[in-house]
Amino acid sequence: MITTRLTTKKSEFREMLSKLNAQQKRLFSPDEVDYLTNCDSFEYLEFKQEDEDDDEFLKQFSTWLHERPKHQGHVDYYVLFYLCMGETLTRDQFEYMERNVAECFDTSHGWIYEINNRIRFKMRVRLICSYKSKMRRLTRKDSRVGAEIEENK
């Protein structure tokens, strides 16, 4: 398994999220991009399969997640699977990911996307994490411009 950090700058993170698409459709709306980039810290990583089979690759990915320190606070995370055209994760693989990925994040919301619109020889996984010290339950927006309203303190 090869691990690559795709960006360390917030501006690049915003741009990469804005450009992510599958089958000519954007994965994240502008509001979702704003929400994900309005964070304390973030991670955007890619994992590439080498010589291992799919199940072994998923086990290595899960092991990597379990070995890293847990973030204290709220995490929104996305796991993007790049698969062959027409391919999906098997039921066992999905259940394995559901059990082993979700337990790596204390308070979180997580999503798994299966992007299967291209030919591949090796599986790729991208992990997007948006870390927040605490979860804000409500964000105030100005409907005229769609921008957040700054509260006077």
Rounded Cα distance between 45 and 41, Å, is 13
Closest alpha carbon to 80 in 120, 38, 40: 120
User: What pLDDT score was predicted for residue 138?
Assistant: 65
49-83 tens-digit pLDDT: 998 888 899 999 999 999 988 777 888 999 999 88
78-130 tens-digit pLDDT: 999 988 887 888 999 999 988 888 888 877 888 888 888 666 678 889 999 99
Answer yes or no: is 140 within a domain.
Answer: no
The neighbouring-strand residues paired with 129 are 43, 77
CATH number of the domain within which 55 lies: 3.30.1330
pTM of the predicted model, to two decimals? 0.80
Q: Which two tokens stand for residue 28?
A: 């994240």
Answer yes or no: is 144 within a domain.
Answer: no
Answer yes or no: is 143 within a domain.
Answer: no
Rounded Cα distance between 86 and 117, Å, is 7
Domain interval for residue 97: 2-134
Rounded Cα distance between 153 and 151, Å, is 6
Number of structural domains (the chain) is 1
